[in-house]
Structure 1
Amino acid sequence: MKIFYELGDIFMLQINDLTVAYSNVPVFTDLSVNFASGKITGIIGPNGAGKSTLIKGALGLVRRSGNATLSGTPINRVRQKIAYVEQRAALDLTFPISVFEVVLTGTYGKLGLFKSPGRKERELAIDALKQVNLVEFKNRQIGELSGGQLQRVFVARAIVQQADVVILDEPFVGIDMKSEEEIMNVLRGWRNAGKTIIVVHHDLNKVAAYFDELLIMNHGVIAHGPVSTVYTQENMTRAFSADLSAVLFNKIAGA
């Protein structure tokens, strides 16, 4: 499904003809999609649909053909302008690093070679921890945190990166409602500042409340555009199943 935008729209992140395959089996082929600035875009689809692979392919973290650009510049030349919060399952929580040190790593991209964080960077890290209400945990080892606290730490690291694009892969899995609300407040603040926010998401009941735009995937693009336009029973049936779609939309109708 092709979505055409007005000429005034600015596509901060553009993915062009992206193909990714694992063991010679394509996850998707020649996928193209644009993410506009000043929007929170959700990416949804069934397990194995290629949601996380799309992000990793765009960022060059897996082998792929095609390309991705940021305001027309290849991603590999402006990587520091993108903050990527990966799934917690991919992280080593036994690594001996504190909450404060994790957040401070977000400043490294702008320091340059052979420079260490100074007073300014440490103040940025503390301020970011304040924004996610975790200052009191700054000296904790990351493995000692709850799932929600840990996710807020990685959001704080993204805050200090001061990136133009922020991508979060399943940030709300296994976290408490307080953490989820605090993270959404940060995301809305970024959106209001004109950043491009992309969230790989699993909870279909919160799509309309959380996102401005939606990318629905199943080994390719099923639909992409404003939530009010593409979050339909027909598109959800195409991506998931008729049974799930009927349950979801009957629930919405009866809400």
Structure 2
Amino acid sequence: MDTVIKLTDVSLKRDGHWLLRDINWHIKKHENWVLYGLNGAGKTALLNMLCAYYFPTIGNVTVLGSVFGRDYLAEELRKKIGIVSARLQQKLYPADTAYEIVLSGAFASIGLYDKPTEAMRQKAIDLLKDLHCLEYADRAYETLSQGERQRILIARALMANPELLILDEPTTGLDFLARERLLEALTSINRWENAPTLLYVTHHVEEILPIFTHTLLLKKGNVFATGKTEDVIQTKNLSELFDCEVIVKWENGRATLRKK
């Protein structure tokens, strides 16, 4: 399957308001994407649609081979998608250990109620090692730093071998070092055999890694620009996106942004 996500002429109306209009977007396998836009641009609405929480009002949506409204089951589709988000973090039980939270990802449950197999336990340990979390595996989630919590959420999301991993502003609240450690972890994951397609949601260009091959700019519910990241994240595009003159500079595969 070459297509991971395909949206064709998609619009979304909720409570009498158009949240998304005329979205056309095609993500192919072996591409990693950034979804970039200011607060209120429609990023959350778009993610909710990709995860089958919203149906398009107009248009066609295909995610991981499932055509919305025809041949998919929402719960089955969601099992193929790993999500790291602030909303998920708020639902977790703070007294659970980091190891228990990672294990719960095998069952897509909040809390660990089923008995994990030995293979699941070993996979959780391997993920904790890979993401440099093993040293605090037995600590309660509530005692971890924000950076440690985010890496645990990534490990949890990877427990079910997702085909698509969505990271919704995962560096919110992190200091510089914690942010860079998390971004390094994503670079490492991308090297794995059968690595999931990554969709990284942000409004900070400094977080856009070289592994993110393509970018979609979203403005007021519309696609503002889309294409290869280094072509899209440029001074002209972002000045028009923000309605404010800014300067984008690229160095060593990373961009910086400042007001002109």
TM-score band, normalised by shorter chain: 0.7 to 0.9
Q: How does 1:86-165 map to 2 (within 5 A)?
A: 86-87=85-86, 91-92=90-91, 95-108=94-107, 116-165=115-164
**CA 1:204 to 1:213, structure 2 compared with 1: closer, same or farther past 3 Å?**
same
Residue number in structure 2 paired with 1:212: 213
- Provide the aligned length of Structure 1 versus Structure 2: 239
Q: Distance in 1 between matches of 2:155 and 2:218?
A: 29
After superposition, the C-alpha distances for 1:209-254 in whole angstroms (9 at most, x for unaligned) are 46211111111111111112222222212321232xx24459779x
Code of the residue aligned with 2:238 in structure 1: it is M
Bigger helix share: 1
**CA 1:187 to 1:40, structure 2 compared with 1: closer, same or farther past 3 Å?**
farther
**CA 1:93 to 1:105, structure 2 compared with 1: closer, same or farther past 3 Å?**
closer
* 2:62 corresponds to 1:52: no
Residue number in structure 1 paired with 2:201: 200
Q: Distance in 2 between matches of 1:190 and 1:67?
A: 31
After superposition, the C-alpha distances for 1:131-170 in whole angstroms (9 at most, x for unaligned) are 1111122222222211111100011112222111111100
Residue number in structure 1 paired with 2:253: none
Q: How far 1:30 sits from its partner (Å)?
A: 3.3
Residue number in structure 2 paired with 1:23: 15
Bigger strand share: 2
Q: Is the 8 A contact 2:224 2:241 kept in 1?
A: yes
Q: Distance in 2 between matches of 1:159 and 1:176?
A: 24
| Structure with higher RCO (Cα < 8 A, 6+ apart) | 1
Q: How far 1:55 sits from its partner (Å)?
A: 0.8
* 2:39 corresponds to 1:40: no
- 1:156 alignment partner, SS class: helix
Q: Is the 8 A contact 1:15 1:58 kept in 2?
A: no
Residue number in structure 2 paired with 1:241: 243
Q: Is the 8 A contact 1:41 1:211 kept in 2?
A: yes
Code of the residue aligned with 1:23 in structure 2: it is D
> What's the TM-score once normalised by structure 2's chain length?
0.80
Q: Distance in 2 between matches of 1:124 and 1:24?
A: 46
Ranges in structure 1 where 5+ consecutive residues have no aligned partner: 1-8
Residue number in structure 1 paired with 2:53: 61
Q: Distance in 2 between matches of 1:213 and 1:54?
A: 17
Q: How far 1:118 sits from its partner (Å)?
A: 1.2
Q: How far 1:186 sits from its partner (Å)?
A: 3.5
| Percent of aligned positions that are identical | 25
Q: Distance in 1 between matches of 2:206 and 2:217?
A: 14
